[in-house]
Amino acid sequence: MEPLFGVMLGLILAVPSPAHNSCTCATNKWAVCAQDGPGNCTCRLVGSDHPVDCSTLTSKCFLMKAEMIPLKERRLWRPLHRLSDSDGIYNPDCEDSGAFKARQCNQSSTCWCVNTAGMRRTEKGDRSLSCSELVRTRWIYIELTHKRSSSAFDVPAVAKALTQLFESRYKLHPKYIAAIEYDPPLIQIRLDQKKKPRWGVDIADVAYYFEKDVNNDSIFHSNSKLNVSVNGDVLAIEKLWIYYVDEKPPEFCMRQLVAGISAVVTVVVLTAGIGIAVLLILRWLHTRKYKKFGSKEMREIKTPSLE
């Protein structure tokens, strides 16, 4: 009986209990997950406590909010590069859907309007600033360069590899990839999405995930390094630039532009004035010296000879 009992005990211990099953979110390593029943895993995002759909990408707004949580509250996740741009770091206000609210404000009551990618598109103001709508970022231009190799990749093969990457890893339908152009070592990708599909991903979220992957700061739970291969050869991305284009032009006022032009004009006028003044002074000195020299000659001519 003892050997049989030992075998049965071993089998019982070998079967993992639901309490010890790992419950993770494949598309978001910042999500806190808990198994609240057999086969039922619920994940919520750090920073906003919103439920996370781990079958697709998390919205950029929720991701930015999660990045603002101190490292100690994100448990044992490794340090991340905080989101920063020319306006500095801010904790975004998000709709329940995950979309950015049209108006964003920081702790000093400074506010501005943003697009669907969370990028500032107006001058900064106070809390009286009104943002009538959330303007959609319809076009995203991605430029990247790869490390030079002995021979350039085949153009159709590069387009196919990147299309498969965006479709499989970022869940983006190929119809939103408007063009992929390759001029070694430069690759240009244009994403075009008039409206976010109800059961699909937003191109702004795709660009954010892709940027994190290229910078070795992946949002995916596996934290696996981005690996792109073209016909079996590694496409090693070296540099990345992302440009956002809205359906409507930005609403920056002309004050800063006018101030800049005024400063340039002032510098030019001052420089020209100083130059003219210097030329006049030099001319005056030259004329004065010539007059003195002429007067001396005249005195020598008029002075009678002692002989």
pTM check: above 0.75: no
Look at residue 106 in the predicted model and tell me its pLDDT: 86
What pLDDT is stored for residue 255 in this prediction? 46
Mean pLDDT in consecutive groups of 10 residues from the start of the chain, 307 residues: 45 39 84 85 86 94 86 44 46 92 89 95 93 96 87 90 96 97 95 94 97 93 84 91 94 55 63 79 72 55 52
DSSP assignments along the chain, one per residue: -HHHHHHHHHHHHHSPPGGGS----TT-TTEEEEEEETTEEEEEETTT--B--TTSPPPHHHHHHHHTS-GGGGTTPPP-PPP--TT------B-TTSPBPSEEE-TTS-EEEBBTTS-B-S--B-TT------B-EEEEEEEEEE---SSPPPHHHHHHHHHHHHHHTS---GGGEEEEEEETTEEEEEEE-SS--TTS--HHHHHHHHHHHHTT---STT-PPP--EETTEE--EEEEEEEEEESS-----SHHHHHHHHHHHHHHHHHHHHHHHHHHHHHHHHHHHHHHHHHHHHHHHHSPP--
At 280 the pLDDT is 80
Q: Supply the pLDDT for residue 223.
A: 66
